[in-house]
Chains A and B, each alone.
Chain A
Amino acid sequence: MKTRALLVLMLLVSSVTWSWGADDLKPSDVRIKDALRAVVDAQLNAFRRDDYAGAYVFSDTEFRHQCPLDRFERMVRIGYPAIAHSTSARCGLAFDNGDEATVNVRVFSDGREPVDYQYTLRRDGEIWRITGVTLLKDQTTEV
């Protein structure tokens, strides 16, 4: 009887979790948002110091397995010049589900228009690590 009740409970929990858990990112609370911002800021600071090895450690472990440091440096310098040469950044909307998160970041650099990116992060124990960065750009712009 106990086993049956437990099974029912487990099924119920898994159904509820799945129902809202397929992509259950919710707006992040201040604590999580601060933690995400700290990681993004720390990596941008490392880029500003030209410390690519230092920036690399904020990347997700799986990403580091796939992308060695020299490739990472080339990728940032060529593909993400605003990030490589930023002067400051402002974090905007952040969403998470406890394990995964996204945060929008506006990156400022001297003499250029600010550029918006969406960072994706994954929790690794107590810290968040960056799994990807996507350019956020509208396909239409008022000119």
Chain B
Amino acid sequence: MRSILAALAALSLTVASSLADEALQKFVYEKAEMGLPFRISLYAKDETTAKAAAEAAYDRIAVLNSILSDYDSDSELSRLSQTSGQGKAVPVSNDLWNVLVKAQEFAARSDGAFDITVGPLVNLWRRARRNHQLPSPEMIAEMKARVGYKNLKLDPEHRTAELLVPEMRLDCGAIAKNYAVDEAQKVLKQRGITCALIGGSGDMTATDAPPGLPGWRIEVAPLDAPGAPPAQIIYLKNYSIATSGDMFQRVEIDGKRYSHIVNPHTGIGLTDHGLVTVVAPDCMTANSLTTSISVLGPERGLKMVEATPGAAAHVERMPGDKVELYESARWKDVPKAEK
């Protein structure tokens, strides 16, 4: 009798839950922030609730942009860069601190493959992309002298940051965007939105699954190379995904393809054609790992992934004329769907 009651109780909970799910509607918003479109898909009981939550999330992203933008010379990040080499330890806000600490953690773990001080080199290669002209070796050497994560000194006791070398420039582009995605998701949760997907330029973080689905269906584009595996669809739930590759951001000069990702050690845009996909508990971690793998290569990069709790990675690369596949041990556990 007790078990029947328990079963009935369980059934009524399921019915209530599915009725509640049925009452939820999907709303999608898109807004340009941090120089790229941020897309929010969420489930809410009505449009007023959805819109208010999305606006609050976008407000949070806008605040983070004013702190972390490397385009805005008045942002806190830019102002910090402007103090480089002046012997100043600058007090920083909680948000900037969070990003800098995470960045330095991954810089140390990746032996500098992931490095937010790479700004001068990134700018050089951005210009190369626009002008279709390789930077000179002299210019690369000059910019490399301003790069190095060990030249960014953080003082946890006083929450200050100091850039030790003149003309350094921090580039928090991707990690800042992914921090914003994580933070925006927190805002939605605070407003009672527990089923949402937020994406900034393809990197995404999801909370609960949409009604009736095991997760948010995310299609990861295939590597644009002959013989590459087809697109994958994975289910994302209370997890984040980030990708990195040269499919859409690259420059081809004299028949050689250079990625927008610059190796901080060589100062050269990566020439390996590849696509790295990482899932991790948060978007900042996922992004830091994709960049690290891209620069370090799959063998060393995947070791980093294995050592990161909850992270999994899939790597496709074509160093020559053949596509190579690599996966971390946990990748097989990532829920996937047939297309």
- Please determine whether B248 and A140 come into contact, CB atoms closer than 8 angstroms: no
- Please determine whether B218 and A93 come into contact, CB atoms closer than 8 angstroms: no
The residues of B that contact A95 with a CB separation of less than 8 Å are: 35, 71
- Please determine whether B71 and A26 come into contact, CB atoms closer than 8 angstroms: yes
Measured CB to CB, the nearest residue on chain A to B220 is: A140
Q: A-B pairs with CB below 8 Å: how many?
A: 85
- Please determine whether B127 and A92 come into contact, CB atoms closer than 8 angstroms: no
B248 touches which of A132, A135, A142 (Cβ 8 Å): A135
Asked whether B225 is an interface residue with its Cβ less than 8 Å from the other chain, the reply is: no
**A interface footprint on B166-181 (CB within 8 Å = 1, 0 otherwise):** 0101000000000000
Asked whether A134 is an interface residue with its Cβ less than 8 Å from the other chain, the reply is: yes
Cα–Cα distance between A135 and B224 once the two chains are bound (Å): 13
Asked whether A100 is an interface residue with its Cβ less than 8 Å from the other chain, the reply is: yes
Measured CB to CB, the nearest residue on chain A to B223 is: A139
Measured CB to CB, the nearest residue on chain A to B250 is: A134
Q: Known contacts A20-B73, A25-B71, A93-B35; decide if A141 and B221 are in contact (CB<8 Å).
A: yes
Cα–Cα distance between A120 and B280 once the two chains are bound (Å): 34
- Please determine whether B218 and A142 come into contact, CB atoms closer than 8 angstroms: yes
Asked whether A59 is an interface residue with its Cβ less than 8 Å from the other chain, the reply is: no
CB neighbors of B among A95-130 (8 A): 95, 100, 102, 104, 120
Q: Known contacts A137-B248, A139-B248, A140-B204; decide if A93 and B32 are in contact (CB<8 Å).
A: yes
- Please determine whether A22 and B218 come into contact, CB atoms closer than 8 angstroms: no
Q: Smallest CB–CB gap between B314 and chain A, Å? A: 12
**B interface footprint on A50-85 (CB within 8 Å = 1, 0 otherwise):** 000000000000000000000000000000000000
CB neighbors of A among B202-230 (8 A): 202-204, 216-221
Measured CB to CB, the nearest residue on chain A to B243 is: A139
Measured CB to CB, the nearest residue on chain A to B168 is: A19
Asked whether A138 is an interface residue with its Cβ less than 8 Å from the other chain, the reply is: yes
- Please determine whether A23 and B126 come into contact, CB atoms closer than 8 angstroms: yes
- Please determine whether B248 and A23 come into contact, CB atoms closer than 8 angstroms: no
Measured CB to CB, the nearest residue on chain A to B124 is: A22
Q: Smallest CB–CB gap between B283 and chain A, Å? A: 12
Asked whether A8 is an interface residue with its Cβ less than 8 Å from the other chain, the reply is: no
The residues of B that contact A45 with a CB separation of less than 8 Å are: none
- Please determine whether A142 and B233 come into contact, CB atoms closer than 8 angstroms: no
Cα–Cα distance between A104 and B218 once the two chains are bound (Å): 24
The residues of A that contact B197 with a CB separation of less than 8 Å are: 142
Asked whether A143 is an interface residue with its Cβ less than 8 Å from the other chain, the reply is: yes
Asked whether B61 is an interface residue with its Cβ less than 8 Å from the other chain, the reply is: no
- Please determine whether A142 and B41 come into contact, CB atoms closer than 8 angstroms: yes
The residues of B that contact A142 with a CB separation of less than 8 Å are: 39, 41, 197, 199, 204, 216-219
Footprint of A on B, CB under 8 Å? Answer: 32, 35-37, 39, 41, 71-73, 120, 122-124, 126-127, 130, 132, 143, 167, 169, 197, 199, 201-204, 216-221, 233, 241, 243, 245, 247-249, 275, 277
4 nearest A-B pairs in the assembled complex, by CB-CB distance: A138-B202, A23-B123, A22-B123, A139-B243
Footprint of B on A, CB under 8 Å? Answer: 18-20, 22-23, 25-27, 92-93, 95, 100, 102, 104, 120, 131-132, 134-143
16 A-B pairs in the complex with CB atoms less than 8 angstroms apart? A22-B123, A22-B169, A23-B123, A23-B124, A23-B126, A25-B71, A26-B72, A93-B36, A100-B130, A138-B202, A140-B204, A140-B218, A140-B243, A142-B39, A143-B218, A143-B219
Given contact pairs A22-B124, A23-B124, a sample of 10 additional A-B residue pairs in the complex whose CB atoms are under 8 Å apart: A23-B123, A23-B126, A23-B127, A26-B72, A93-B35, A134-B248, A137-B221, A139-B221, A139-B243, A141-B221
